[in-house]
């Protein structure tokens, strides 16, 4: 295995950016997304908080960057869930398959694998799923407060299981089924979790 | 870390047993459950096939032993699925939770984690799920041939997702919900995969 190295370390932006990302992963895994502050992350990275804002913008954006997440749920979730409410389940499954079947899916599978064997990555992934995906889905669909948590976690259970079965364990015929077959088969189950009687 | 070692190697049963188990894992992962034969496993372990039968009985039993599986789907699956057909989904979820919430569940979680990061374990787990669990479920419920594969793989997707969400990622409230809440919430979805319109 050969590691390619730049001959001279660039002292400026790249190193600062990287140390902010390292600090962010640590603080997010330790405190959770809600408990982590830009201020604490800047402190951990030994930089000024203004610099963190300058490089990454919001805490959400910094979180995505720290997880190497190529897609932004702030755009994707509303796109999947707006439209007729009784077809939200199918649209959600279709979105998930289009993301995971794309080149970005390779990174997502790697993240899922890593989260299964590493407690630290598992925490980051949980924070990501809960704060970036599920919370947005709850808001978008206007689910009532007391049920919203259970409903969205049940949706997560089916989506995570689809990913594990299709991309990791590769159980047939789910592994090579065409997306629309899975949308028709799984969509109504996700729909029940979203809006049906539990 | 201290490794406790027996001062003298026992030349007899234990070593033979262990080399049969090692050979079995290798052949099952390589050829799949159906393609593996006791004869090939014996050859790989350099022992007589009769000895494999003597120690482990059937190929199914040897497969369970090689995966360190404390529970036997040959007993559990029919138990969960017999009875009223329209409650099979709930019974299946209840069984899964009772197994995974028990001490045996720790081994199951370890196996799932390992299967996610190791291609070889993933193959063994897929073979286990397909040949030991899903095939038996299809037989028990008498699902029609062409649909049976898809239905049982969809059930696997929900069960795998429940395990990942509750035991690995620990997403609330699924992580600490009492089992009967999850049986009511998830059972009907599993039921649709088993017997509903897809």
CA pair distance A98, A110, nearest whole angstrom: 17
Question: Which positions in chain A have a beta carbon within 8 angstroms of at least one beta carbon in chain B?
Answer: 112-117, 122, 125-126, 129-130, 149-150, 153-154, 156-162, 164-166, 168-174, 177, 181, 184-186, 188-189, 192-193, 198
- Among partner residues A130, A157, A188, which is closest to B162 by beta-carbon distance? A157
The answer to whether B170 and A123 have CB atoms below 8 angstroms apart is no
Residue B194: per-residue pLDDT: 93
DSSP 3-state of A150 = helix
Instruction: State whether A122 and B193 contact (CB < 8 Å).
Output: no
Q: Which two tokens stand for residue A115?
A: 């989260």
DSSP 3-state of A51 = helix
pLDDT over 90, % of chain B: 58
Residue B69: per-residue pLDDT: 83
Q: Which positions ≥6 away from B95 have C-beta within 8 Å?
A: B76, B79, B80
CA pair distance A73, A65, nearest whole angstrom: 13
Tell me the torsion sign for CA atoms B72, B77, B83, B88. positive
Grade residue B35 by pLDDT with cuts at 50, 70 and 90.
Answer: very high
CA distances A124 to A71, A112, A121, Å, are 16, 11, 5
Instruction: State whether A122 and B171 contact (CB < 8 Å).
Output: no
Cis preceding linkage at B173, omega within 30 = yes
CA pair distance B187, B198, nearest whole angstrom: 16
- Among partner residues A149, A156, A186, which is closest to B165 by beta-carbon distance? A156
The answer to whether A45 and A18 have CB atoms below 8 angstroms apart is no
Q: Which two tokens stand for residue A6?
A: 């730049």
Residue B125 with chain A: CB contacts under 8 Å = 169
Higher pLDDT, B116 or B162: B162
B88 Cα to chain A: minimum distance (Å): 16
Is A17 a residue whose pLDDT tops 70?
yes
Among residues B115, B164, B153, B30, the alpha carbon closest in space to that of A165 is found at B153
Taking the CA atoms of residue A151, residue A172, residue A90 and residue B174 in that order, the dihedral angle to the nearest 10 degrees is 0
pLDDT tens readout for residues B96-141:
999 899 888 888 888 888 888 888 888 998 999 889 988 898 888 8
Instruction: State whether B164 and A161 contact (CB < 8 Å).
Output: yes
Work out the number of other CB atoms within 10 angstroms of the CB of residue A109. 16
Higher pLDDT, A187 or B139: A187
- Among partner residues A113, A130, A156, which is closest to B117 by beta-carbon distance? A113
Residue B109: per-residue pLDDT: 85
Instruction: State whether A157 and B158 contact (CB < 8 Å).
Output: yes
Write the DSSP symbol of residue B142. Answer: T
Distance of CA B60 to the CA centre of its chain: 11
Domains and CATH numbers, chain B: 13-66 (1.10.10.60), 73-195 (1.10.357.10)
Residue B54: per-residue pLDDT: 95
pLDDT tens readout for residues A128-169:
988 998 889 888 888 877 789 999 999 999 999 999 999 999
Higher pLDDT, B11 or B37: B37
How large is the average pLDDT for residues A44-57? Answer: 96
Instruction: State whether B193 and A185 contact (CB < 8 Å).
Output: yes
Q: Which two tokens stand for residue A151?
A: 């409903």
The answer to whether B186 and B158 have CB atoms below 8 angstroms apart is yes
CA pair distance B179, B95, nearest whole angstrom: 10
CA pair distance B186, A178, nearest whole angstrom: 25
Among residues B60, B69, B1, the alpha carbon closest in space to that of B28 is found at B60
Is B11 a residue whose pLDDT tops 60?
no
Mean pLDDT, all residues of chain B: 89
pLDDT tens readout for residues B41-75:
999 999 999 999 999 999 999 999 998 887 889 99
Q: Which positions ≥6 away from B71 have C-beta within 8 Å?
A: B99, B104
Residue A10: per-residue pLDDT: 45
Is B6 a residue whose pLDDT tops 80?
no
Cβ burial B151-182 (10 Å sphere, 16+ → b, else e):
bbbbbbbbbbbbbbbbbbbebeebeebeeeeb
């Amino acid at each position: 295995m050969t590691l390619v190295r730049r001959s001279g370390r660039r002292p400026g932006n790249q190193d600062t950016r990287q140390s902010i990302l390292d600090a962010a992963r640590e603080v997010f895994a330790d405190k959770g997304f809600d408990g982590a502050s830009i201020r604490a992350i800047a402190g951990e990275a030994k930089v000024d908080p203004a610099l963190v804002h300058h490089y990454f913008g919001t805490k959400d954006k910094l979180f995505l960057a720290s997880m190497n997440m190529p897609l932004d749920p702030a755009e994707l979730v509303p796109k999947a869930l707006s439209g007729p409410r009784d077809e939200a389940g199918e649209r959600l499954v279709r979105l998930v398959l289009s993301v995971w079947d794309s080149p970005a899916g390779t990174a997502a599978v790697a993240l899922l694998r890593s989260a299964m064997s590493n407690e630290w990555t598992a925490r980051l992934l949980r924070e990501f799923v809960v704060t970036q995906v599920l919370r947005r889905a709850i808001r978008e669909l206007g689910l009532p407060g007391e049920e919203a948590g259970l409903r969205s976690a049940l949706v997560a259970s089916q989506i995570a299981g689809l990913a594990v079965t299709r991309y990791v364990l590769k159980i047939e015929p789910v592994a090579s089924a065409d997306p629309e077959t899975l949308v028709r088969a799984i969509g109504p189950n996700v729909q029940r979790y979203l809006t049906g009687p539990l």
